[in-house]
Structure 1
């Protein structure tokens, strides 16, 4: 059907566009503009084979925007369910629900101690000596019982040895063989124990921690993923809605690094090479420099400033303060938001400050405590910083305080500690400026290398 005009349709199209991008990535050709008619025919055949839903090539062209119409085509529920199923979700509703919550935090699985096998007593050992029997017959049974006990004891020792544990996994595990790499980074992820513990009736998938995911073929144990921006990522192996295991991937930087990308175009990320960024007094990247890097500045785009490094700063006792100027209103930039992220060893802290009328798109995460503007009241994150403003995040013994222009707007405690700081990220919609930045450990006074 052709969608009617209405304010509520914006969210529909956002989810539809995101789903189309995931479908194209799962299909293996992320650049949809290069698709031929044959690609739509093949995709329709794949969807029918995997979901049982027949979608014609022309319908797929309308969904993906190949055939232009007066207003964006919005497919029927069965069609949306098929697309969502193809990218690893139960149905369209589950897909939309997943977009309204962050990637789940995964605690390391606790390894259960192996249960010792019970050694049953040999009946012959406890039998009384029958009258008239020769003593050597009883000794023979006694020796048999002793051999059984020795063999059982050896079996227990072998089963508890590191070699035995290494050869016989006790659960399904997700392991990254190269967890640290430069930007960009091709991570090699392997699943161990899948053959031994697989549930053929369940759906498995990997959420890579960067907004992308991939269904798991239970006959395949090796998966590669391309990480294209600096940061600390948590790849999660899931069985249905259950988190099975997590693997950590870390892309450090050498000082501050700038990266630009466009909304919905996740296949193109553009590093902006500027020597001595924030060191020589340069506090922003101009629209001209952004365009020279390959960004279409007439569309919605984002610029991230990242400084990722392993530090000794306590991520549960620190203070971050920065003075920023968000983007002026321009083509593709309406809400002028800025996002601040502190990467920890096991999770992260992050929050978005956005113009008051746009708080629907804001979010705040303090370790495992997460709130989203689509479902929570985040009006306290609404602020217009186009003329400048100060943001601060102070964490004391796992209790976080958020400040905007010197006024505390939010505080909350969390349970899962972050341990060490692994870097920071400041993201602007459009052109933003960072006039100052500081991060320090509240216990030791140690200052983050990159403060200015």
Structure 2
């Protein structure tokens, strides 16, 4: 029996992931696509594979070693299998000696067996050739002309979440029934829709800037931006099904936005044994503000440091059109597991000094970003934590997101654009 190499098996797994994502060939993926894939894998498996690791696995970065078992297990789980062994067992079906009779074992290497295999191979080849010509006859060259299709999205409400969106599409010229609408980069939002219909509705539970797509016969033919704003500050608790939303009155104090321990307990959320994951959003129209030239400052704290939250991790996300700036903070003792990325540039504390992102988050901590011509400087409590130039093309800034465990408070938040225009995010 022909032995399939590990490289070929890995390629099959990667192809399954590509097919599920429906982002087109990975040869054309940008750094942003790999960042989104990293986030999608983390959302599904709770294991974060860096964009560098993903690029190595996909052959976009030269690397002479095979992926480690942990990486393969994560990819297999993301593809829908229990682990890498389960994937290999499912996708590979070798003829084991234990599963066949002695008579068959005795004749396995005889010419008669080889003749049968030759005829079987010839039959498969003939069927493949016939299928190819049928495909050409019925479906044409396989290329999809985007001009034959239409796609748009209309929000039910101008602002706030939850918010429903009605997609109007025309996919009647599709050659097969493979017509999908993807709400976001998240593959769980990939929905099969009838090609002979024109409407599809979907719900967005979180604010964001989403690149919805119409996929026909395996190709993205149309895109439509869906921006779900938060209508000012929004506070919520992440849940398995859909988030729990606080009212603006609940989270707004004279000088800050806060999700407090008292507020959580009043809504039957306990901090022990595991503190709930809470988020604060401010998603809005920022005008001409871009990530290539801007200033940003915010002051925050996470005073809960008991139980599993001794590291007090905080994540501040500056959300951009089709990009992200991801800034982590943590107790100084826990910076060994810190990762950050900004518009195509990634840093992992295992390979970089990110100690500047450590702070006593029980106290008010000020985070500031100054960026000019894509050269970004990050300051924590007025001390420079990191400086670098990011590679991605400039794009607009559309909002903020804060991630805390348990409680979180934010104040003194603002942006400035290249001309010095102040955008005050105060409550």
Per the normalisation by structure 1, the TM-score is: 0.53
Matched, 1:293 2:267: yes
274, 279, 284: which one pairs with 1:309?
284
Going from structure 1 to structure 2, the CA distance change for 1:19 and 1:283 (only over 3 Å counts) comes to closer
Matched, 1:182 2:157: no
Q: Distance in 1 between matches of 2:382 and 2:363?
A: 16
Instruction: Verify the 8 A CA contact 1:182 1:253 in the aligned structure 2.
Output: yes
SS at match of 2:255: coil
353, 357, 368: which one pairs with 2:329?
353
243, 250, 253: which one pairs with 1:269?
243
Going from structure 1 to structure 2, the CA distance change for 1:432 and 1:276 (only over 3 Å counts) comes to closer
Q: Distance in 1 between matches of 2:258 and 2:421?
A: 26
Q: Distance in 1 between matches of 2:335 and 2:222?
A: 33
Q: How many residues align?
A: 300
1:370-401 CA deviation, whole Å, 9 max, x = no partner? 45668877555444422332211111122221
Query: Which residue number in structure 2 is paired with residue 258 of structure 1?
Result: 235
SS at match of 2:241: strand
State the Cα distance separating 1:349 from its structure 2 match. Answer: 1.8
SS at match of 2:424: coil
Where structure 2 has 5 or more consecutive residues not aligned to the other structure, the ranges are: 1-40, 47-71, 88-143
State the Cα distance separating 1:291 from its structure 2 match. Answer: 2.8
1:285-331 CA deviation, whole Å, 9 max, x = no partner? 22121233353433331222222211225222111112222232134
Q: Distance in 1 between matches of 2:376 and 2:79?
A: 38
Going from structure 1 to structure 2, the CA distance change for 1:253 and 1:219 (only over 3 Å counts) comes to closer
Going from structure 1 to structure 2, the CA distance change for 1:172 and 1:379 (only over 3 Å counts) comes to farther
SS at match of 2:263: helix
207, 213, 218: which one pairs with 1:230?
207
Per the normalisation by structure 2, the TM-score is: 0.56
Q: Distance in 1 between matches of 2:233 and 2:250?
A: 8
Going from structure 1 to structure 2, the CA distance change for 1:376 and 1:249 (only over 3 Å counts) comes to farther
Query: Which residue number in structure 2 is paired with residue 324 of structure 1?
Result: 300
Structure of higher CA gyration radius: 1
SS at match of 1:266: coil
Where structure 1 has 5 or more consecutive residues not aligned to the other structure, the ranges are: 1-14, 21-76, 97-166
Q: Distance in 1 between matches of 2:221 and 2:335?
A: 33
SS at match of 1:213: helix
Query: Which residue number in structure 1 is paired with residue 410 of structure 2?
Result: 434
Q: Distance in 1 between matches of 2:355 and 2:216?
A: 35
State the Cα distance separating 1:183 from its structure 2 match. Answer: 0.7
Query: Which residue number in structure 1 is paired with residue 118 of structure 2?
Result: none
SS at match of 2:259: coil
SS at match of 1:253: coil
Matched, 1:336 2:312: yes
